Structure 1
Amino acid sequence: MKHRPFIGTRVEDFLTRVIARALRRRGWHEALVPYTGYGTEDHIRVLARIVLNPPHAERALPGYAAAWLNRRGWRNFVGLPVQHGHAVLRLAGETLHLRSDRQGYIDMTVKAHQLSPGWHKVRLEAPGAQPVDAPVQVVASDESFGIISDIDDTIISTSLPRIVLAAWNSFVQMEGNRQAVPGMARMYQHLLAEHPGAPVVYVSTGAWTSVPFLRRFMARHGYPRGAMLLTDLGPTNTGWFRSGPDHKRYSMGELARDFPNISWVLVGDNGQHDPVLYREFADLHPGRVRAIAIRTLTAAEQMLAHGTVTVLVDSAHLEWTPSQAPLVTGADGDELWPALREVLEPARRAGEKD
């Protein structure tokens, strides 16, 4: 008997098809949204999305008015996915045909044809859409250092996952009012000072639709650019909601596979599941974690994040064996950095002797 997708998925797909037909009749058109990818000198991971976008009526507005509209959080969520859409990747003189999934996402790993370490752009094209360039960071094969960072309440104060506050922050509040966690950008800059070619990968349960805002936010506050591995809202083939912890587990597992020589610094917060997930990763991948840095939320932030001043712990992992990876905690980057530097310094000196 053929397996049928979960009812929530079938309903969502049906509504997407119906709405797409109506929007196309109103002039909505395909658009490519490039995301930052990563890879090695052998292969790269290309990330993008095909969506339907509305006609740009705000072009008729004065420049300041259009800019004001574009900075409202809800603007990041306008766009309907193009299900199973076709795209073309042009790389090193070759043409590769790609196809988006049911949510319009393209996530493809391709041969890199010996791209040199550093930042590159790959050209993506789709029928009816303007071509775009997707940035990709190619990491040297001998690189042994990297950073995996959470986003929400780690580098940016979001008051997640409380639904009312999250909706206000995401859909209504002006982007310029969103606050960076003090000292975190400086900490990342310090960490990368001795490893300028190392990757920084932001792994979060936030929605892909927030990427345009996050790029502007990170650039404005001095965070190093890097790939983002986010998730999507809505039902899956197994249930009505996606599992945030499972998304992080899977994403970090992919990074461990894609960069077998890198030992990571894992940065997160104690508002949700980061401490447990990072300990799991360290124990499942011995020698692949240099240190775990956890930002400790204040009582007020804990209350906003999940309605209690007690840190939430996944009861299924209460018996998890403590990790051998060093753990440091602090209220922000200015507190975390001295403790993290003290932990990492012996390893750096040992590397110099070798």
Structure 2
Amino acid sequence: MSRKPPNALVRLAFHVEHYAESWGWRLRRKLGLAGRPRILPYRGYGTAGQAVIKARVLENRHVRPPWKRHTLLGSAIASWKRYMTVEIPHARLVARWGEHRWEGTTDEEGFLELWVSPPEGLKSGWHDVELELLSPSPKGVERVRTPVLVAGSEAEYGIISDIDDTVIVTNVTNFLKRTWTLFLTEHRTRLPFEGVDAFYEALHQGKSGSANNPIFYVSSSPWNLYEHLDEFLGLHRIPAGPLLLRDWGLSRQGFAPGGGHGHKLEKIRGVLGTLESLPFILIGDSGQEDAEHYRTIVREFPGRIHCVYIRNVWHRSGRERELARIAEDIRAAGSQMLMVDDTVTAARHAASQGWIRWREVAEVQAHQQQDAEARSVLDKLDREPG
């Protein structure tokens, strides 16, 4: 479906907001009232031939680290600071990867997306690229290291997974519960679906046990939650991967461009286009539009999608018939779609297809049981008064 161009009023609103924030930050900086520029590194990805380095430059709002936030108010303040960002457009940065050096400039929303040719002889896996802010000149040297995932020749396939209600229990179809989850809870108190860590690790290792298959996470959550989600994956030992999120702010294309969850298609197309030699496994849930988007991808990239796994979560009446039709369409396009109630079911199917080792299924089952027991304990504590 083609997207309508933004009208003149939207474009005017964007320019007003953009220039007001930009000039406001410059004025506060001259008066010594602005926070120093901060480089927020994002996980990039690519191959030995091309890779993307990603980051964002923002005014530092000094969000307290998670181990210093002990109250509901502290969590709410941290969430507010994540959302009320001041982006720094047209900031100049230099990227250094080995002996290679490139310069890049942030866009009007403060994003840096720099496509480069990596140094020769790289092994697959994660590599650190150094980013340094050149202008606006920081007080002192502002440098960070941003990780870039390089997919190697040993990779058997790639994995693209939704996050909300696929990895993390968020109840995104319920507005009030989602608001609570996004704004007032910490990643330490949120739980993944049972067994996800072991299943994704099995997919990462592949049939050989050392495939180092790349994993990508797509979500309709805003980029403001990047650190929150990245910390969540690390805390629960879910394999790290590039997070492909969404800009919820006002832009030249309108407010929260992408048409609902349509931005996921753009992100998935980008991944498959960059890693053009790899087949993929796609994972989502039944509550949103994952199945519809994955059907589109199967049709657009024939022969590239091994399987679509859709987790059964709460959904509206009549959704089962829609999903059945989508599954038929995907089979007709030469792939397969499996509806699963739990992670072990998906793991058994993946092992039967030769995508993971059978011994990993027992590991997934053990983790699923442990996670279920932990969730039961937390639910009991939540129900206790005081």
TM-score by length of 1: 0.84
Number of the residue aligned with 2:299: 283
Number of the residue aligned with 2:381: none
Contact kept in structure 2, 1:123 and 1:132, CA below 8 Å: yes
Number of the residue aligned with 1:7: 12
Give matches, 1:149-298, under 5 Å: 149-160=161-172, 162-194=174-206, 195-242=210-257, 243-298=259-314
Report the CA distance between 1:240 and its aligned residue.
2.6
87, 94, 97: which one pairs with 1:81? 87
Instruction: Give the distance between the partners of 2:271 and 2:153, measured in 1 at CA.
Output: 14
Secondary structure of 2:54's partner? strand
Q: Pick which of 239-248 and 150-159 moved more.
A: 239-248
Contact kept in structure 2, 1:273 and 1:312, CA below 8 Å: no
Structure 1 73/347 Cα, relative in aligned 2: closer, same or farther at 3 Å? Answer: closer
Structure 1 270/97 Cα, relative in aligned 2: closer, same or farther at 3 Å? Answer: same
Secondary structure of 1:260's partner? coil
Give matches, 1:314-325, under 5 Å: 321-322=329-330, 323-325=333-335
Structure 1 64/278 Cα, relative in aligned 2: closer, same or farther at 3 Å? Answer: closer
Alpha-carbon deviations, 1:278-308, whole Å to 9, x = none? 111111111100111000103xxx3xxxxx4
32, 39, 45: which one pairs with 2:46? 39
Instruction: Give the distance between the partners of 1:218 and 1:347, measured in 2 at CA.
Output: 21
Secondary structure of 1:345's partner? coil
Report the CA distance between 1:193 and its aligned residue.
2.6
Give matches, 1:115-154, under 5 Å: 115-126=122-133, 127-128=137-138, 130-141=142-153, 143-154=155-166
Report the CA distance between 1:313 and its aligned residue.
9.7
Number of the residue aligned with 1:336: 346
Q: Pick which of 154-163 and 111-120 moved more.
A: 154-163
Secondary structure of 1:282's partner? helix
In structure 2, the gaps of 5 or more residues are 1-6, 358-386
Contact kept in structure 2, 1:185 and 1:333, CA below 8 Å: no
Percent sequence identity is: 25
Residue 354 (structure 2) pairs with residue 345 (structure 1): yes
Contact kept in structure 2, 1:184 and 1:334, CA below 8 Å: no
Instruction: Give the distance between the partners of 1:229 and 1:23, measured in 2 at CA.
Output: 32
Number of the residue aligned with 2:374: none
Contact kept in structure 2, 1:207 and 1:232, CA below 8 Å: yes
Residue 30 (structure 2) pairs with residue 28 (structure 1): no
Contact kept in structure 1, 2:203 and 2:213, CA below 8 Å: no
Report the CA distance between 1:325 and its aligned residue.
1.0
Report the CA distance between 1:14 and its aligned residue.
2.9
99, 109, 119: which one pairs with 1:103? 109
Secondary structure of 2:229's partner? helix
Instruction: Give the distance between the partners of 1:43 and 1:191, measured in 2 at CA.
Output: 24
Contact kept in structure 1, 2:90 and 2:107, CA below 8 Å: yes
TM-score by length of 2: 0.77
Alpha-carbon deviations, 1:70-109, whole Å to 9, x = none? 7954453353110121111112223211111111011111
Aligned length: 333
In structure 1, the gaps of 5 or more residues are 303-307, 349-354
Structure 1 51/319 Cα, relative in aligned 2: closer, same or farther at 3 Å? Answer: same
Number of the residue aligned with 2:100: 94
Structure 1 95/273 Cα, relative in aligned 2: closer, same or farther at 3 Å? Answer: same
Alpha-carbon deviations, 1:134-176, whole Å to 9, x = none? 0111111453311001111100012225444333222222332
Moved over 6 A (4+): 317-320
Report the CA distance between 1:43 and its aligned residue.
1.7
Instruction: Give the distance between the partners of 2:153 and 2:67, measured in 1 at CA.
Output: 46
Contact kept in structure 1, 2:154 and 2:212, CA below 8 Å: no
Contact kept in structure 2, 1:142 and 1:261, CA below 8 Å: no
Structure 1 112/23 Cα, relative in aligned 2: closer, same or farther at 3 Å? Answer: same
Number of the residue aligned with 1:305: none
Contact kept in structure 1, 2:44 and 2:51, CA below 8 Å: yes
Contact kept in structure 1, 2:14 and 2:251, CA below 8 Å: yes
Alpha-carbon deviations, 1:160-199, whole Å to 9, x = none? 2544433322222233221211122221112223353210
